[in-house]
Amino acid sequence: MAAHAKLKPQVNNRRDLVLEIAAGFFVRKGFNGTSIRDIATAAGMLPGSLYYHFPSKEALLVAVFEEGVARISAAVDAALAGCPGGAWDRLQAACEAHLAALLEGSDFAHVIVRVIPQDAPGAAEELVKLRNAYETKFAALVAALPMPTDANPSLLRLMLIGALNHVPLWYREGGETPSSLARRFIANLRFAQDCSATRKEETWP
């Protein structure tokens, strides 16, 4: 019984190693550019042995994606728990945590940006569900904002998350920080909203 109990952590550790290696490959080579052999070789395994943990490359992608979503979600939840401020302050805190996870985190977070559901049709439905479940956090934050009645919260959320996810493509260390970028993003949104409200007031009879 004691010997059997010692095996479980080893199995779990091997699975975690496979996930971490797969995340790195998916980020640097993309889903379609990565093979099971690539991942198995880097993990010191035979390709057939990897299927003991994951029945397919799509299943492995879903597991990596799920881990990435869980890490970003945890970061955003922690940021919101420490932010008792108003709606704009809470959205800014969520943006900062999201950016920090992307810019300072592991490959798991980058997989969510690097691999899109269309890259893996066999896993697309599960990837979309994971992504949508995470984005409900931002949907609630945006819905709490004081916005004009004709504003489109869904479009605003999509624009904001799209802008956040694009940051790793142009970001350079030594300049802006996740905190300063989040402040700028929110400041620009508020400025655009204020300008829109002002223009409406000027055109009203």
Find out whether 134 and 77 touch, Cβ atoms under 8 Å.
no
pTM value surpassing 0.85: no
Neighbours of 188 (CB within 10 A): 11
The confidence score (pLDDT) of residue 45 equals: 92
The confidence score (pLDDT) of residue 5 equals: 39
Residue 7: pLDDT above 50? no
Phi, psi of 55 (to 5 degrees): -70, -15
**Domains of the chain (ranges plus CATH)?**
68-203 (1.10.357.10)
* Residue at 61: amino acid letter: L
The confidence score (pLDDT) of residue 195 equals: 61
* 53 Cβ contact list (under 8 Å, min separation 6): 14, 15, 18
Segment 41-94, tens digit of pLDDT: 999 999 889 988 899 999 999 999 999 999 999 999 999 998 988 999 999 999
Confidence of residue 194 (pLDDT cuts 50, 70, 90): low
Angle between helices 87-104 and 124-143 (to 10 degrees): 140
Confidence of residue 204 (pLDDT cuts 50, 70, 90): very low
Q: Is 144 helix (H, G, I), strand (E, B) or coil?
A: coil
Confidence of residue 105 (pLDDT cuts 50, 70, 90): confident
The structure tokens listed for 177 are 């920080």
How much of the chain exceeds pLDDT 90, in percent?
A: 66
- For the chain, the average pLDDT equals 87
Report the Cα 183 to chain-centroid distance in Å. Answer: 19
User: Which of 200, 170, 163, 203 minimizes the C-alpha distance to 185?
Assistant: 163
